[in-house]
Structure 1
Amino acid sequence: MPSENPGYLSKLPGLAYVGLVLTPLFWAGNAVVARGTVDAIPPLSMAFWRWVIALAILLPFGLPGIWRHRQIIRQRLGSMLALATFSVGAFNSLLYLAANTTTATNIALINATIPIFVALMSWLLLGDRTRPIQALGIALAVTGIVTVVARGDLAVLTGLQAQPGDLIMVAAVFSWGLFSVLLRRQAVPLPALTFLTTQILLGVLVILPFYLTDLLAFSGGFELSGATLAPLLYFAIFPGILAYAFWNHGVHAIGPSRAAIFMYLTPVFASILAGIFLGETLGRFHVIGGLLILSGLILATRAGRTALADRKPG
């Protein structure tokens, strides 16, 4: 469980490395489980109930901090609502929508470009200086995304035949880039647990009208059973609460640049899990696109961008 004062954990770097390996595994599992359950649980139901369950788990621990820091929350409510909209509200909702029409492997590959989108948005909106090596990294990663979206066939792009899920996933990482830039521009001075609990609470309120519209007018919801409850619990606990705690502990213990390297494991884990559980196979375009994305990420992160220290939800 996240702590209001995690300083004592910084003395446990071994635990940090274990957590940083588990974090991309949980993020990969988020894509694989979502892809495997989209026929049983509508995407907006998936997003809404994931965060409701996470909130129910966190609230007993986070509520005292919310009360203690209520003045700051009230003063920064507009900023926190915007942050919650782009992160808790939009990011996973879009990811689960993407799972309807694309593979878990594609989701993970595109998701791995989040540092690139953060750097790009920081350059466009905050005026951060971009070094030539970072610009090259961004260009390579974007080329990798285009390769994955086009499935290695230029005719897919020129004929506007790209899978909707791939484009929705690009919108998801774009949303996370906006969140990260806003987080830097409008930093909210709250302890980690208080911030997370407040973000989830506001994010649930953001998703609620979309969930109700989908429930009443489109999907009709889903039948609660062991087969549908298990993935929701996984979404809430593993890529949600635990991945957040492990990621922030890792960044605190070994630094953002070294922690960021572990993000590269997400598509590796996803391709393995998707092959085992979903029968997905890797195409040549996955390998080429993945190598371009990996090369771009390495070049961009070698430039020492502080944006990689931003909080990451799964």
Structure 2
Amino acid sequence: MSKSTPLAYAGIVGATFFWGTNFNAGAYIIKSMAPISASIERFAISTLLLVLIFSLAGKLRLSTLKNNLLAFIGLGLLGFTAFSLATFFGLQTTTPINGALILATTPLWTMIFAVLLEGERIDRGRAIGLILGLLGVGLVITRGDIQVLLGLKVASGDAMILAGSMAWAANMVGTRRFVKDSTPLETTSFSMLFGVIGLIVLGFIYEDPLADIRNASLAIHGAVIYLAVFGSLIAYLLWFKGIHAIGAARTSIFFNLAPVFTMLVSSILGVLPNIWQLLGAAGVILGVVFASGMVFSPVQPKPIMSR
């Protein structure tokens, strides 16, 4: 294990923490602002900060953008536009419980794509970790009610959210597979740039972003800025760096920590977890332990060649 590996794991956990708090902040924002308009403001701020700060610092190379243009367009539309909008429009015709359970399949799709595109092996630890993680997320979301699981029905909304889950998984594997000679910072910045362009186009089709942003209160804008800086900019940088260091399949397991962090923040805000949520959190944490190779020796990810 290289010296950078523990830092990579810490960064991945940090990213999932910020994504977990996104649900808490997002629930507050959505009461006063249309979803796509809020997404446009969030990612526009993130993109602007990334491009301005790191362009001035000489960290973004136009040659990287040129050499990976098609890859960045695809990754941006998959990881930023399609994932968020598939989830949003899917939830219009399905329940939040259905959506959350379907999104929990993201690590499974990531492993499948990694096997198909990268030739990675699913070792014993990651297989156990995946099962424990999915079971844990199921307990957190369903509160141990088996009827919730038995009552799942395939609807148009479910299919859209499943498509979003697969889009995010494809984005993670595609970052490692198709992007050449690009730093995690460059990959995040350029992918986010095309993702926000996609959001803007769809936003003006389905909503009135300019009016929504103009009429939002300062408190709402403050919450959006939190999402832009911590829930987007910093989280995605940490996540892509984790993919670069330990591989897409192993990184994806940590995605299951997000609902656990959401639960913890809710507890701080006065909504205490029940026994099923606590058991689910334990399952998720154990899943991360197994998947990260702390119990069984992990299969080393294929190194990324630098040029």
CA contact (8 A) 1:62 1:197 kept: no
- Counterpart for residue 289 of structure 2: 298
CA contact (8 A) 1:110 1:145 kept: no
Matched, 1:236 2:228: yes
Q: Which residue identity lines up with residue 122 of structure 2 in the other structure?
A: T
- Counterpart for residue 88 of structure 1: 80
**Cα 1:265–1:281, aligned 2, differ >3 Å: closer, same or farther?**
same
- 2 CA distance for matches of 1:14 and 1:299? 15
Deviations 1:88-138 (A, max 9, x none): 2233445667898648xx96x987876555334313544422223322332
**Cα 1:27–1:110, aligned 2, differ >3 Å: closer, same or farther?**
farther
What is the Cα-based RMSD across aligned positions, in Å?
4.5
Secondary structure in 1 aligned to 2:292? helix
**Cα 1:175–1:226, aligned 2, differ >3 Å: closer, same or farther?**
same
Deviation at 1:309, TM superposition (A): 10
Matched, 1:285 2:276: yes
Equivalent of residue 176 in structure 1, options 168, 184, 197: 168
Equivalent of residue 187 in structure 2, options 180, 188, 195: 195
Deviation at 1:200, TM superposition (A): 1.6
Equivalent of residue 30 in structure 1, options 19, 22, 27: 22
- 2 CA distance for matches of 1:145 and 1:250? 22
- TM normalised by structure 1 equals 0.70
Which 5+ residue runs of structure 2 have no aligned equivalent?
none
CA contact (8 A) 1:151 1:286 kept: yes
| Matched length | 292
CA contact (8 A) 1:54 1:236 kept: yes
- Counterpart for residue 58 of structure 1: 50
- Counterpart for residue 218 of structure 2: 226
- 2 CA distance for matches of 1:298 and 1:17? 11
Deviation at 1:198, TM superposition (A): 1.3
- 1 CA distance for matches of 2:281 and 2:174? 28
- 1 CA distance for matches of 2:129 and 2:87? 24
- Counterpart for residue 44 of structure 1: 36
Matched, 1:143 2:143: no
- Counterpart for residue 3 of structure 1: none
Q: Which residue identity lines up with residue 130 of structure 2 in the other structure?
A: I
Matched, 1:213 2:195: no
Which 5+ residue runs of structure 1 have no aligned equivalent?
1-9
CA contact (8 A) 2:184 2:241 kept: no
- Counterpart for residue 62 of structure 2: 70
**Cα 1:61–1:272, aligned 2, differ >3 Å: closer, same or farther?**
same
- 2 CA distance for matches of 1:144 and 1:17? 20
Deviation at 1:256, TM superposition (A): 4.3
CA contact (8 A) 1:144 1:288 kept: yes
Secondary structure in 2 aligned to 1:40? coil
Q: Which residue identity lines up with residue 282 of structure 1 in the other structure?
A: P
- 2 CA distance for matches of 1:150 and 1:41? 28
CA contact (8 A) 1:102 1:163 kept: no
- Counterpart for residue 5 of structure 1: none
Q: Which residue identity lines up with residue 52 of structure 1 in the other structure?
A: A
- 1 CA distance for matches of 2:273 and 2:302? 28
Q: Which residue identity lines up with residue 132 of structure 1 in the other structure?
A: R
Deviations 1:199-251 (A, max 9, x none): 121111121222112215x9x73522202211111111112223344566789
CA contact (8 A) 2:188 2:237 kept: no
- 2 CA distance for matches of 1:236 and 1:125? 31
